[in-house]
Structure 1
């Protein structure tokens, strides 16, 4: 009888251990589909407009985007600006209207972030295009399909030394703007608050 009790106790303990190890694994697969992330996203940047003062005009040469665990990123490259401040104004607008003509440019998404940089998309001395984009069209070479926050990009135009871009985002979300050498970097968070 003692052998039977010991065997039964061993089976019960083994069964308890088995259920304890399988439940969390299936729960994590159900919730995320991947291993939990150890990244904490601190995105208390706010959604008010942001500006930077400029010292000189340098032509815009490229616009590209990328994805991060906490935000989507847009990078505007300028021709050799170095460490000199680059002028910009970034903020949410109800509609994107071209400078000069006032024509509306359709931008898909739940909210529109207007990006203005003190950099023409052409060389002011020669008139040669330095960034080949067409007004009202998507930014060349930029595909935001599958991004969590970015939904659309549109070139509004380049007028009197400024270039104007529309960035369609999922909703009015917090964002930050910074300058890294000859680049303006815009990060738009995936959501509000601090994420663990």
Structure 2
């Protein structure tokens, strides 16, 4: 009887020790498995703002975030209020001026149009080294959840036209800051990253 009481006491002490040491690990596991809730109220309808600038586009870059993929069009020197745009899903991307179809990979295509040239208005010399129908220079979409492809369509009559291929028709938003037009595409509709 004494021996079984000793065994049960040892088992109880061991379980207490394990339980006490497991609590911080359980708390850490719970903290790491907690899901981030992402905004999904952006919708997928076209978005536009009237404005325009002669300040030229200098670069286009992308970034991955927890809830969305981001494209940034750099227009250094342009004020936020001068950056006009039109962004919306299209069945096909047609080049301004020629009407030629530009193939953009992905399940859906966002046409991104910014009211700024990709050339110097005085000399006509390109300020952004992109070619019509080709991928955007310096943009690598490896590891992106929403983005699939980028294409330069044209810079025609003061507007620059880009194609952004995404996985499927997803919610997006457009932001303006001084010198930047930003397009964020959510990873999902349901708010999970």
| TM-score, structure 1 normalization | 0.85
SS at match of 2:11: helix
Give the counterpart of 2:105 among 108, 123, 126.
108
Matches within 5 A, 1:148-187: 148-187=145-184
Are positions 1:135 and 2:129 aligned together?
no
Partner of 1:5 in structure 2?
5
Secondary structure of residue in 2 paired with 1:11 = helix
* 2:39 match: 42
2:7 is paired with a residue of what secondary structure? helix
Question: 2-side partners of 1:9 and 1:194: how far apart?
Answer: 50
Paired position in structure 1 for 2:84: 87
Q: Distance in 1 between matches of 2:52 and 2:114?
A: 12
> How many residues are paired up?
187
Superposed CA offset, 1:3-32 (max 9, x none)? 3234146437746957x959x87xx6xxxx
Please tell me the root mean square deviation across aligned C-alpha atoms, in Å. Answer: 2.5
CA distance in 2, matches of 1:107, 1:37: 36
* CA distance, structure 2, for counterparts of residue 114 and residue 136 of structure 1: 13
Q: Secondary structure at the match of 1:5?
A: helix
SS at match of 2:70: strand
8 Å CA contact 2:174, 2:183 repeated in 1: yes
1:62 matched residue in structure 2: 59
1: distance between equivalents of 2:69 and 2:154?
A: 23
Instruction: String of CA shifts for 1:61-96, please: whole Å, max 9, x gaps.
Output: 110000100000000011311243311000001111
Distance 1:69 1:97 in 2: 32
> What is the rounded CA distance, in whole Å, between the counterparts of 1:10 and 1:195 in structure 2?
46
- Runs (5+) with no aligned partner, structure 2: none
Tell me if the contact between 2:52 and 2:115 (Cα under 8 Å) persists in the aligned partners.
no
Supply the distance in 1 between the matched residues of 2:6 and 2:82 (Cα, whole angstroms): 77
Structure 1 gaps, min length 5: 29-33
